[in-house]
Amino acid sequence: MNSNVRPADMARINTPELADKFIAEQVELLKKQIGDKKVLLALSGGVDSSVVAALLIKAVGKNLTCVHVNHGLLRKGEPEQVIKVFKEQLGANLVYVDATDRFLDKLANVTDPEQKRKIIGAEFIRVFEEEARKLEGIEFLGQGTIYPDILESDGVKAHHNVGGLPEDLQFELVEPVKLLYKDEVRVVGARLGLPENMVNRQPFPGPGLGVRCTGAITRDRLHALRESDAILRDEFAKAGLAGKVWQYFTIVPDYKSTGIKDGKRIWEWPVIIRAVNSIDATSASIEEIPYELLHKIVNRILAEVDGVNRVLYDLSPKPIATIEWE
C-alpha cells in the first residue's frame, strides 16, 4: 500500500475522541519508528509543524530537537510564543536562531518578489543546515507535511523547504500528519494542548512579512508593517473576527505620500489593509468589516505606527487581484 494515499475508510478526525485516538496511535508509531534515536524538526510556529512537534515531544521527549529560525519576517510576538509554548510549557529541546540580520542583509536592495522568495528559501536552508551540523547523532527529520501538500505538490512544503539539504544531511523523514487535512490537524492540535491562536492561526506565507513589505525591504518599513499587522490582529480578535475571516493582514508599499503633522508637511508611507475570505486560496472574496471597526483600526495605526500617514482598504477580490501584494 502506498503510505502517501489516505485510505478510503479513514474517518475524518472531527471530534476530540477521534483526535485522542489518532494521537495515541501516532505516538506509538513514532516510538516504534524512532526508538531511542534522535529527530530534528524545523519549527515555524505554524499549526502543522507545531502539531508535529507536540506529537514528537510526547513520543520521544528530549530526543527531539526543534530549530526555530527567526528570519526577521515573522509577525509581532511569534518567536516569543514559540519559545514560551515549546520550551517553557512543553519542555522541548529548542534551538532558537535569530537570523534577522543575515536575512535582511541578503535582502537589501532586492526588489523582485520571486528573487526575494528565492533568497528567503535558500537562506532558510542554509541556517537550518548549519544548526543541523552542530548536532550529533540525528537520524530523522520531522516534517509538517499535510495531505493537501501531497495532493498538490511533490509532498514537500515550500516554506518548510528543508528538502534542499545536502546529500550528507539526508535524514529519514518523519511525517505523522501527512494524511490529515488542515481542519483535522487543528482538532489534533487542540487536543495536544496547543494554544487556541496557534491552532487556529490564519495562513501565513513562508516568506512571511517579506512579501508584504513590497519592493526592497527596509528595517523601518518592516517595523511599520509588523506594528500595523499587530494592531489589525488585535482589533480583529477583540471584535470576534479572528476566527471568522480567513486571512487578514497589512501591507506597506515602497512609496510615500504627503500628509500634515503638527502644522508641517510630512512625506510618509501608507498602510493597506487586506481581509479576505476563501476556502482554498484559489479565489477570495472581501470580508465586510464594519465601518466602526475600520475607523478604530485606522485611528490606531495612524496614532501608533511611526512613518505612516494614510491607511487604505483593499476591496479587490481574487481574481483579479491575488491575496498577497507580491
Q: Please report, as ranges, the residues that interact with ligand XMP according to CB under 6 A.
A: 117, 158-159, 203, 205-207, 211, 247, 281, 318, 322-324
CB 311, min distance to ligand XMP, A: 21
CB 48, min distance to ligand XMP, A: 11
For ligand XMP, the closer of residues 124 and 269 by Cβ is 124
For ligand XMP, the closer of residues 171 and 249 by Cβ is 249
Q: Which three cell numbers stand for residue 32?
A: 516504534
Q: Are strands 247-251 and 264-277 parallel, antiparallel or unpaired?
A: antiparallel
For ligand XMP, the closer of residues 301 and 323 by Cβ is 323
CB 100, min distance to ligand XMP, A: 19
CB 183, min distance to ligand XMP, A: 16
CB 167, min distance to ligand XMP, A: 26
Please report where in the chains the cell 519549527 appears, as a residue: 43
For ligand XMP, the closer of residues 229 and 268 by Cβ is 229
For ligand XMP, the closer of residues 205 and 270 by Cβ is 205
CB 158, min distance to ligand XMP, A: 5
For ligand XMP, the closer of residues 172 and 280 by Cβ is 280
> In this structure, how many other beta carbons lie within 10 angstroms of the beta carbon of residue 281?
14
Residues 157 and 42: their CA atoms lie apart, in Å, by 12
